[in-house]
Structure 1
Amino acid sequence: MPTLLKFLLVCLLLATAGSVQAQTPTAPSPAPATAQPAYDVNAATQAYLNTLTPAQKARSDAYFEGGYWLLLVEMLYAVGVAAVFLGLGLSRRIKAWTERLPQRFLRTLAYVAIYLLLAWVLSFPLTVYVGYFREHHYGLSNQSFGEWLGESLTSLALSVVFGSLLILALYAAVRRAGRTWWVWGAGIMGTFVAVGIFLGPVFISPLFNKSTPLPAGPVRAAILSMARANGVPADNVYLVDASRQSKRISANVSGIGSTIRVSLNDNLLRRCTPQEVQAVMGHELGHYVLNHIYELLLSFVMVIGTGFWLLDWMFVRLVARFGSRWGVADRADVGGLPLAVALLAVLTFLSTPIVNTIVRTNELEADVFGLNAARQPDGFAAIAMKLSEYRKIDPTPLEEALFFDHPSGHTRVYTAMRWKAEHLGDK
C-alpha cells in the first residue's frame, strides 16, 4: 500500500493497536511454578521461553526480522513512486489536465484523487507481496486472493475519499498560513484522527468485520466484572470475526465517548483458555483506564507537527533547486504532493524508533495494569508466547528499542513472572 494511503488508513483505524503456521500448535505452557519463598523470576521466564521449539523460534524470527527490511524497502519504494510522478513528468501532466476545472479547490481535489489512485497502482506489486503472499508464506492469513483484493479496494476507497478531503484541508492551511502551515496542519491531522477514532467502531470497522455481542457465559461475566471493578463503563463486550482474515489473536479498546467499546477477536476466544482471555482483556481495559487513546492522540499531534515542520524545511529547499524541472512552483502547488509524500515516507522511517517507544511504553503500562486487574500472570505469560507466532520472542535490547511497538515476549513474560513473585502469598 502506498505510504500515504497506509498512513491515512492507520489514522482512520487508530482506534484499534511471528510466523508459526496454524497447523503447527504452540507448545504447551509450563505448569505454574510452585509458590516458594525463593522464587527465581529469571528461571521462570526462561521456562516459558523454552516452550518455543527451535523451528518455531527460527520461523518467528525470520518473519519479524523481515519486517525490519520492509521498513526500508517501503520507504525507498515511496521515493521511487515520487520519482515516477516528478522525474517522468506524470505529475505535470495530471496538473495540466486538472487546470481545466473552474475552481481551485476542484483542481486540488481532482489532482489528489488521481494521485492517490495512481500511487496505489504503482505500489501494488509491493502491496500484494507484503499483504498477501508474505502472510500466506508464514501461515498467518486465511484469505483467498479475491477476498484480500476486495478488502484492499475497500481500503483504497476509504483512503481516496477521506485522504482527498484531508489533503484538501492541508493545502488550504498552506495557502492561508504560508510558512506556519505546519502548526495548523498538525491541528487538522489531530482533528481528522479524532473523528476517525470516533467513527471507527461503528462506521469503518464494520466494512471489514462483523462485530456481535459476546454470548453470555463465564468469559463474558468475568470481563464485565473486571470492567466494573476498575471503573470502566462497559455493559457489553464485542466479538469480532477476525478469523475471516487472519490467524492472529487480538483484542482492543476502540472509539471515543459514546462509541467506545471493548472487543476481542474470535481467534482469541477459540485458541485461548479463559484465564488467558481474562489476562488479555485486563490489558485492554488498562488502555481505557489509563487514557491511552487520548495520550496517544496528543503524542501523535506533537510528532506529526514536528514532522510537518521538517517536511516543509526540506520541501522548500528541494523545490528551490529542482522545482522548475519538476513543474513545482512552491509549497502551495499541489503538483508537489508526490515530493511531500516521499519526504513524509523518509521522516516516517526515521521516526520509527520514537513512535515505537511512545506506543511500547503505553503497552507496558497496560500490561502491568492488566496483571493487577486480572491477576493471571501465567495466563498473560502464555499469551505472550502465543504472540510469538508473528513477533520475535527474544530480541536484543537495541532491537526492541528500535523495532518493537509492543514489549517483546521476553519482556512480557518477565513482567508477568515478576508480578507473580511479588504475589506468591496472596489468596
Structure 2
Amino acid sequence: MARKIGFYTVLFYVAYGLFFYWYLFYHAETALPFEYQGSQADPATFLNSRELALSEEYSKVRNFLFFLSTPFEWVLYLFILLFGLSKAYQKWGEKSAKYKLLQQGIYLFWLSLTAYIATFPLSYISYTLSKTYHISTQSFAAWMKDELIDFWVNFGFLYLFVVVIYWLINKSQKRWWLYAWFLSVPFTLFITFIQPVVIDPLYNDFTPLKNKELETKILDLAKKSNIPAEHVFEVNMSDKTNALNAYVTGIGSNSRIVLWDTTLNKLKDKEILFVMAHEMAHYVEKHIYIGIGISLFLSFIGLYIIYRLMHIIIAKWGDVFKIVDIKDIRSLPLMLALISLLFFVSSPLTNTISRYEENRADKYAVAMTEDPDSGIATFQKLAKSGLSEVNPPLIVKIFRYNHPTMLERIAELEEASVLKKNSEK
C-alpha cells in the first residue's frame, strides 16, 4: 500500500508540474487587450523591448517555481511518513532526552532540517533567478544569513505550536481544535503587535527617515488621515533588492510607517506621497484588523477541517503512515501537510479580499493626493523595477496576486486622471 500511494503521489506531482509548464509557457494568454494598447497601462509605453522580453521570461519561470514548490511540500511530508522518518525522529528524541518537551524539540529539529534541505534547491533556484534578472542584489552569504534566520524563527514558532497543540490533543481529542483556536486569538494579536519591533529588525536595520523635509510631508499626510505617527522609518533594502516597497505595519503603539531606501532613491517626492497615502488607507480603513479577523475566521474553519481529516486519514491509513494515534507526535507531518494544503486552497479567497482592499487604498490615495498621474508613474516604475507582468495569466492572478494587476491599477488611475483634467476645464 505504501508503494502504491508513493507511486501515485509522484505520478500526480509530475502530471501537475507538466500541466503548469504547458499552461505558463505555451497556453496562458498575457497579451494586452486591444482597448489598452497604447494607453499608459501598456508596458510598451514604459518598458523597452529588452525589458518586455525579460519581464515575460522572468514571470513565467517565477510562476512555475511557485506552483511547483507548494505541492512539493505536501509530497515531502507524505514521504516522511511513508518512509518511517517521522517514527525515526521520534525515537531519536526519546533516546536523546528524558523530558517530553526536549524530545519534542529534537523531533521537530530533525523534521525541520529535513524539510529545509529538501526544499533548499527550489529556494536557491529562486534566489539565483532573481539575481540573474537583477531583481536581487543580495550576496549569497547575506541570503544564507536570512535563510538561517528564517529557519530558526520558524522553528521557534513551530515548536511553540507543537507543544501547545499536542498538549491540547492529549487533554481532549474531540475539542483540541476549538481550544487551539481560542488560544490563537491573543497569540495572533501579540505577534502582529511585536512584529515591527522584534521580528522585522532581525532581517533589516530600521532608522528614522533621514530626509526630514519629506518626513514632514508624510506626517502632514498622516495627520490628515488621523494616523498617530510621530516618525517615518526607512530600511536599507538596496543591499538585497532593486524592487520598491513601502508599508504601514503593526497595531497600537507599535504601528510604523516604513519606506524602503530603493523607493526613496527611485521615486520622486510626489510619487512617494501617493504610495504613502495608499499605505495609510490600510490603517484608516482598518485593513490590518480586518485581515486579522479573516485570518481567525479561516483558522477556525481550517482547524476543524484538519481535526476531521486527521481522524479519518489515521483511521484508514494509520498503519501505512506509521501513525498509531493522533496524539502521537508522529502525526505532525500529516498535520503540516494539511495546513499547507488548506492555505493553498483558501488563497483565491484571501487574494480576492486583499485585491479589493488594495483597490480601495488606490482610490483613497487619489482622493487624498488629488494626483493620479503620480500614481501612474509610480506603478510604471514598480513594474519596471520588479519586472512585473502587467497582465498575468488568470490562474496566476487567482493564486498569486493579492494586489490588482498593474493593468487594472494603471488603467483605473488613467481614468481618474482624465476625469480630473475634464473637471478642471
Same fold (TM over 0.5): yes
TM-score tier, shorter chain, comes to: 0.7 to 0.9
1:24 counterpart residue number: none
Residue 272 in structure 1 maps to residue 267 in structure 2: yes
Q: RMSD of aligned C-alpha atoms?
A: 2.3
Alignment: residue pair count? 387
Q: Secondary structure at 2:174's aligned position in 1?
A: helix
1:172 counterpart residue number: 167
Q: Secondary structure at 1:351's aligned position in 2?
A: helix
Contact 1:360–1:404, Cα closer than 8 Å, also in 2 = yes
1:371 counterpart residue number: 366
Task: Give the counterpart of 2:200 among 201, 205, 208.
Answer: 205
Task: Give the counterpart of 2:108 among 112, 133, 147.
Answer: 112
Distance 1:159 1:46 in 2: 39
Contact 2:196–2:250, Cα closer than 8 Å, also in 1 = yes
CA displacement, residues 298-323 of structure 1 (integer Å, 9 cap, x when unaligned): 11112222222222332222212221
Cα gap change, 1:358 to 1:186, in 2 (>3 Å): farther
Distance 1:422 1:271 in 2: 28
Contact 1:210–1:240, Cα closer than 8 Å, also in 2 = yes
> Match of 1:113, as an amino acid?
F
Cα gap change, 1:253 to 1:330, in 2 (>3 Å): same
Distance 1:178 1:67 in 2: 41
> Match of 2:305, as an amino acid?
L
2:233 counterpart residue number: 238
Contact 1:92–1:326, Cα closer than 8 Å, also in 2 = no
Aligned counterparts, 1:274-353, within 5 A:
274-353=269-348
1:124 counterpart residue number: 120
CA displacement, residues 101-127 of structure 1 (integer Å, 9 cap, x when unaligned): 444444334322332233212221222
In structure 1, the gaps of 5 or more residues are: 1-39
1:148 counterpart residue number: 143
User: Aligned-pair distance for 1:49?
Assistant: 5.9
Q: Secondary structure at 1:143's aligned position in 2?
A: coil
In structure 2, the gaps of 5 or more residues are: 1-34
1:139 counterpart residue number: 134
Distance 1:42 1:234 in 2: 41
User: Aligned-pair distance for 1:296?
Assistant: 0.4
Distance 1:360 1:213 in 2: 30
1:415 counterpart residue number: 412
Cα gap change, 1:76 to 1:216, in 2 (>3 Å): closer
CA displacement, residues 76-129 of structure 1 (integer Å, 9 cap, x when unaligned): 321232134211111111112223444444433432233223321222122222
1:184 counterpart residue number: 179
Contact 2:65–2:122, Cα closer than 8 Å, also in 1 = no
Distance 1:110 1:234 in 2: 44
Residue 405 in structure 1 maps to residue 409 in structure 2: no
Contact 2:39–2:45, Cα closer than 8 Å, also in 1 = no
User: Aligned-pair distance for 1:173?
Assistant: 2.8
Q: Secondary structure at 1:99's aligned position in 2?
A: helix
Contact 1:282–1:370, Cα closer than 8 Å, also in 2 = yes
Distance 1:222 1:374 in 2: 11
Identity %, equivalent residues: 26
User: Aligned-pair distance for 1:373?
Assistant: 1.4
Contact 2:351–2:402, Cα closer than 8 Å, also in 1 = yes
Bigger relative contact order (CA 8 A; separation at least 6): 1
Contact 2:36–2:42, Cα closer than 8 Å, also in 1 = no
Residue 257 in structure 1 maps to residue 255 in structure 2: no
- As a proportion of its length, which structure holds more helix? 2
Distance 2:49 2:189 in 1: 43
Q: Secondary structure at 2:420's aligned position in 1?
A: coil
Contact 1:57–1:393, Cα closer than 8 Å, also in 2 = no
Cα gap change, 1:312 to 1:415, in 2 (>3 Å): same
Cα gap change, 1:399 to 1:128, in 2 (>3 Å): closer
Q: Normalization by structure 2: what TM-score?
A: 0.84
Distance 1:226 1:276 in 2: 13
> Match of 1:178, as an amino acid?
Q
User: Aligned-pair distance for 1:234?
Assistant: 0.8
Contact 2:314–2:323, Cα closer than 8 Å, also in 1 = yes
> Match of 1:159, as an amino acid?
N
Q: Secondary structure at 1:345's aligned position in 2?
A: helix
